[in-house]
Amino acid sequence: MNGQPPPQPSHPEPPPQIRPVTLVFIGPIQNPAVKNLRTACCNTITSGTKEIQILFSSSGGDVIEVFSLYNFLRALPVKLTLHAIGYVDSIAMVVFLAGEQRLCSPDSTFLFHDFAWGTPAAVNLTRTQWGDLHGSLERTKIRSQELLKLRTSFKDEDFKRLELFDKSVIQDAVFAKKMGVVQKVKDAIVPAGSIFANIEF
């Protein structure tokens, strides 16, 4: 012995606590909000997050952004929950279906309707352009129906029986639970200690 105290065992620092993330998305599905949502998801996943909850309410939006955002959210390596806290209208349903767990507040509503071109520019379209537009809208309708059948308990006969894509139909949380649009109807909760951020529009 050289008179030195024996080395003390080292105590490694505990790993940083990984906190769940809650993001708030209220508004139309269009840029820059969609870009901000993607950035928020990427940043939180890079920091090690394993759970993301999105408190969601939307009147619809741009078809290209909607389907791209659906596939982006489905690709995330996290437990993804979408919680409807108001309205899930029109094409916003596609984004909502990206959640592996889907919840809604008791007073949430879900709007289904036929797809139509909603800008004044459509007035000046040629007959060929009108045909192309009609085909695009029909494909969007079919894609939306196929996703509903894939992600919920909807069947082809349900679309016909309820006329969901033939006229405007507003359904409530009870209907959403019955048809598998959501797994549970409950008030939204932000877990204590979670990272909480609002998506800017």
Query: What CATH number does residue 60 fall under?
Result: 3.90.226.10
Q: Could you tell me which of 110, 74, 73 has the C-alpha nearest to residue 90?
A: 110
**Gyration radius of the chain's alpha carbons:** 22
Whether the per-residue pLDDT at 169 is higher than 80: the answer is yes
- Count of domains forming the chain: 1
Q: Which domain holds residue 48?
A: 21-198
Residue 116 resides in a domain: yes
Of 40-44, 81-85, 158-162, the one with minimum mean pLDDT is 158-162
Mean pLDDT of 154-166: 91
Residue 150 resides in a domain: yes
Residue 12 resides in a domain: no
Whether the per-residue pLDDT at 132 is higher than 60: the answer is no
193 or 10, greater pLDDT: 193
Residue 8 resides in a domain: no
* pLDDT 10s digits, 172-189: 999 999 999 999 999 999
Whole-prediction pTM:
0.84
Positive or negative: CA dihedral 174, 177, 182, 183:
positive
Whether the per-residue pLDDT at 134 is higher than 50: the answer is no
Residue 4 resides in a domain: no
